[in-house]
Structure 1
Amino acid sequence: MTRLYHFALSPFCRKVRLVLAEKKIDVELVDERYWEPSNEFLRRNPAGKVPVLKIDGMNLSESQAICEYIEETRPEPPLMPRDPAARAEVRRLCFWFDDKFHREVTANLVYERVNKKVMRGGYPDGKSVKTGAQKIKYHLDYMGMLLDHRRWLAGDSLSLADFTAAAHLSCLDYISDVDWHRSEVVKDWYAKVKSRPAFRSILADQIPGFLQPPHYANLDF
């Protein structure tokens, strides 16, 4: 059995979940309190981070490495283009969201509003929340610029870049921190992504102490 050690509101875990679901790979989800790591968990990943995927007799860590392993060993349906330049663009956008977007937005909003409470780390830092709320505008505008010229974020086909971006935005959407009125093209793109069967388990997530907003699981917002 393939097993994913995860935290439900981690964008990196959601990214892996989306890829597994798109590839129709059955997986057992194991909630992991990675901020209180056990010796057993540290043996799976000495870095003490989620996600960790147990597959093919191995424990894999780091979401991009996990997703590319899945893509290489289970190539259908494809989430990476064949053309080297197109693959480079997918990877560029994956790192854009997992690095720049995560530092500027996800960490300042989701981690401050949710993770601190869950992990008993104190109250949200108002300055960080304000920074995240400002920075997300730039990122939504950038996505809108890309989608004005492309069907999907990285090109004409759905790719790992779309799932990476959607994983981060879905976490923010859970706490109503995305202004979907800012860009109709981004809103339409997200509606397409979250309408896919692979998104069903993401939309069913329930975080203790944090209720879903009414629109969260609504495919038409």
Structure 2
Amino acid sequence: MTLALGYKGLPVEIKLVDPADRAAVVETSGQELVPVLVDDGTVVFDSRVILEHLEQRHPDPPLWPEDPARRAEVDVFVDWFDRVWKRPPNEIVVEMKAHEPDEARIERWGTVMRDSLDRFERLLHGRDFLFGGEITAADFIAFPFLQYARGIDEDDRQLFHRVLERWLRSREHPRLAEWIERIDARPRAGDRAVHELPAG
């Protein structure tokens, strides 16, 4: 989300959240997931909903293509990523936290994750971004997860990040690797956190 805010050029106040203590997030939004946006008293959570909110309040530069057909393509991708792609890593985390983890089940979900990299490699053929020459909501939705294909900081102990790194890390997807570097080089509003936009 920080990349999308940076793309929009919006000034923000960043409130960092300890992953082990989500009390402030729950107090603000009634749920534990980040990011959370507080915009002039309006609390918004869920990455897609936040992007849609930003697009409505601050339409330039756009996060979705103007052409209806291309816009629909981005919407379908974002929906697929949220509902389908995110399931395997979440299932693996649940299994790993079980009293007796089913390693075969973890392996199956992990294989699904690894196989998905081919889809992104094909999608990026001849493109700088997932849906063409311009960055869109699709890139901002996918990057926070796919970035772990290049590895992880040694100090990062979050289980979810470790799962992503284990099953996504690959040297066989050069277009994806270039895309990750391209997105990561863009300006950010700050680190993941509870974000507050100034009133106005």
* TM-score, normalised via structure 1 length: 0.67
Matched, 1:156 2:133: yes
In structure 2, do the counterparts of structure 1 residues 201 and 52 end up closer, same or farther at CA, with 3 Å as the change threshold? Answer: closer
User: Distance in 1 between the 2:72 and 2:177 partners?
Assistant: 25
Q: CA deviation at 1:97?
A: 1.8
Q: CA deviation at 1:132?
A: 3.5
What is the alpha-carbon root mean square deviation over aligned residues? Answer: 3.2
Q: CA deviation at 1:138?
A: 2.1
Structure 2: gaps (5+ residues)? 153-161, 194-200
Structure 1: gaps (5+ residues)? 1-15, 206-221
Matched, 1:19 2:4: yes
- Partner amino acid for 1:179? R
Contact 2:14 2:190 in 1 (8 A): no
User: Distance in 2 between the 1:184 and 1:33 partners?
Assistant: 31
User: Distance in 2 between the 1:19 and 1:35 partners?
Assistant: 25
In structure 2, do the counterparts of structure 1 residues 47 and 34 end up closer, same or farther at CA, with 3 Å as the change threshold? Answer: farther
User: What CA deviation, in whole Å up to 9, does each residue of 1:45-79 have, x standing for no partner?
Assistant: 34554332111221112221111110121123222
User: Distance in 1 between the 2:42 and 2:173 partners?
Assistant: 42
Q: Which position in structure 2 is the counterpart of 1:126?
A: 103
1:154 aligns to what SS in structure 2?
coil
In structure 2, do the counterparts of structure 1 residues 199 and 146 end up closer, same or farther at CA, with 3 Å as the change threshold? Answer: farther
- Partner amino acid for 2:128? R
Q: Which position in structure 2 is the counterpart of 1:54?
A: 38
Matched, 1:91 2:75: yes
2:174 to 175, 184, 207: 184
Q: CA deviation at 1:34?
A: 8.5
* TM-score, normalised via structure 2 length: 0.73
Q: CA deviation at 1:166?
A: 0.7
Matched, 1:72 2:60: no
2:9 aligns to what SS in structure 1?
coil
Higher relative contact order (CA 8 A, sep 6+): 2
Q: Which position in structure 2 is the counterpart of 1:209?
A: none
> Kindly, what percent of the aligned residue pairs are identical?
27
2:38 aligns to what SS in structure 1?
strand
Q: Which position in structure 1 is the counterpart of 2:155?
A: none
Q: Which position in structure 2 is the counterpart of 1:31?
A: 17
In structure 2, do the counterparts of structure 1 residues 72 and 111 end up closer, same or farther at CA, with 3 Å as the change threshold? Answer: farther
User: Distance in 2 between the 1:73 and 1:112 partners?
Assistant: 40
Matched residues, number: 179
User: Distance in 1 between the 2:111 and 2:185 partners?
Assistant: 28
- Partner amino acid for 2:3? L
